[in-house]
Structure 1
Amino acid sequence: MSTLTYLEFHLLFVLPPMLLLGALAYARTDTWSGPRPLSGLAILLFLALVYTIPWDNLLIAEGVWWYGDGATNGYIWQAPIGEYLFFVFQPIVVCLWLFQFPTVADVSLVRIPIWQRGLGVAAGLVVSAVGYAMLGVQSLYYLGAILFWSGPILSIHWGFGWPYLWRVRKTLLVGITVPTLYLCTIDRLAIEWGIWILSDAHTTGITVLGLPIEEGAFFTMTSIFAVQTLLMYMWLLDRVDRGELKEWKLALTNRQPTTDLDG
């Protein structure tokens, strides 16, 4: 019997920081204010639900994890309602944390050669390939599933603009690290209290301060997805405002050399 239900877990550990960060973000008057960040967050939430729900339900069906007696309040497909709420609440918390920091100035016009974009795509595909290979080993199944699932998103992000992400690496690092540590901490508590239980057969058994490394990898990847998506969304809109994309399209139309232009 679990100590808390999944919904009570959200009420105690997810909603309070989300409301606090939301109030702080609402008070900002810099470039994070206005409709653009909110539209980026809305797009992120839609993509997170569409991309994560099938993967999550498949792993539950495979027995990678399950839920404690009395911990859930209704199911949709294989997952409890609290699971779907987590898909929504987590990106909101991560992005609201990112909103606490000023956007990076004077880096919106970054020209990225095609070969560098190719490296970014290839790096993400390598992550997926490693994950796919790990799926064949039962104890690596959960970790492999995380990497295999993460690779396509990383390919898109890194192919679109990893040099830009490198330019804003300090913001990226702070935006990812703090919410990841918090989410890992409360996840560790949820496991200890029996809200969800991981399969010994599908995990490595390796833990860091009691947290299975698979859970740490999951929250790291999802925080990366959220922060990179929002930063590059704002970067793209900034480029549109500056007319850079129109210049690139004109260059292609006129058949001008484009090896050093954005692709």
Structure 2
Amino acid sequence: MSLTYFQFLSVFVVPVLIIVAATTPKPLAGRGKIAGVGIGILTLIALGYTIPWDNYLIEQGVWWYGDRTVLFRIWNAPIEEYLFILLQSLLTGLWVSRFIGPRKEAYDIRTSVPGAGIGISIAVVGALLLQFPRGYYLGAILLWAGPVLAVQWAYGGGYLWVTKRRWAIGVLAPTLYLCLSDRIAIELGIWHISPAFTTGITVGGLPIEEGAFFFLTNLLLAQGLVLFLRVTDRWR
């Protein structure tokens, strides 16, 4: 079996997004339209923050696409890549919203120095890994995600900590599903990950770099939505 990138999205991502959207309890996250606004804002931020990074890594040859698997490119990335970022953001945002309804307890948004320190440490490890060809992709992921994690925890780490069980559950399912879908896409030759820029460590045939990417992006989306809703709750 062979699929194009667009067909892959149509088979593995869009139907799941439709199901999640149709079955997500209303009002969204117990708040209604404001939660939808939050997901929309986070989706735009995800696109803006990911697109330059994504295109740079494609230019460096960290991954590439199979022959005749993409429609057309904007910059270095195919149009389907931008669509994937959009769909993942919506999917994860809607899924996480199931678990983060309003809390009755009046927890303050407060900083978490240890949490921010972990984010900074992740970025530093990423910068170090960039010095080695086989660590390049993993390093790029960690350096890209670490500063955002640090900012999130520096701003509202206290609230993220006390609500961790709820949003952490929301991160798990989309991460596992997208990893499985990614593994299928690689097997079908829709895209190829360069062995020269990866550690060579795999889990179930999936490079650990791909798993790290989906986990961290979903984590950033989930934590971003939690903090957005907490801030808007305080405004009302």
Distance 2:109 2:66 in 1: 51
**Residues 3 and 193 in structure 1, CA contact (< 8 A), matched pair in contact too:** yes
Distance 1:107 1:132, change over 3 A: farther
By how many angstroms is 1:101 displaced?
3.0
Offset of residue 120 of structure 1:
3.2
Equivalent pair of 1:66/1:197 in contact (CA under 8 Å): yes
Displacement after TM superposition at 1:174 (Å): 0.8
Which residues of 2 match residues 31-110 of structure 1 at below 5 A?
31-101=29-99, 103-110=101-108
Conserved? CA contact 1:49–1:88, under 8 Å: yes
Decide whether the 8 Å contact of 1:44 with 1:226 is kept in 2. Answer: yes
* Count of matched residue positions in the alignment of Structure 1 and Structure 2: 236
Q: Distance in 1 between matches of 2:200 and 2:107?
A: 45
> Are the equivalent residues in 2 in contact too, given 1:104–1:168 (CA < 8 A)?
no
Contact kept, 8 Å, 2:28 with 2:97, in 1: the verdict is no
Counterpart CA distance in 1 for 2:30 and 2:119 is 28
Indicate the SS of the match to 1:66.
strand
TM norm structure 2: 0.95
CA-CA distance at 1:122 after TM superposition: 2.6
The correspondence of residues 10-29 of structure 1 with structure 2, limited to 5 A, is 10-25=9-24, 27-29=25-27
Higher helix share: 2
Q: Give the letter for the 1:18 counterpart.
A: L
| Deviations 1:126-154, CA, capped at 9 Å, x for gaps | 11111000000000000000000001110
Residue deviations 1:207-245, cap 9 Å, x none?
00111000000000010011101011001111222xxxx
Mark the runs of 5 or more structure 2 residues left unpaired by the alignment.
none
Q: Give the counterpart of 2:128 among 130, 133, 145.
A: 133
| Alpha carbons 1:157, 1:228 under 8 Å: kept | yes
Residue 29 of structure 1 deviates from its aligned partner by 3.5
Contact 1:117–1:158 under 8 Å retained in 2: yes
Q: Aligned AA for 1:156?
A: V
CA contact (8 A) 1:108 1:238 kept: no
**Counterpart Cα distance in 2 of 1:29 and 1:87:** 25
Over the residues paired in the alignment, what is the CA RMSD in angstroms? 1.6
Indicate the SS of the match to 2:64. Answer: strand
Q: CA deviation at 1:189?
A: 0.2
1: CA distance, partners of 2:188 / 2:28: 41
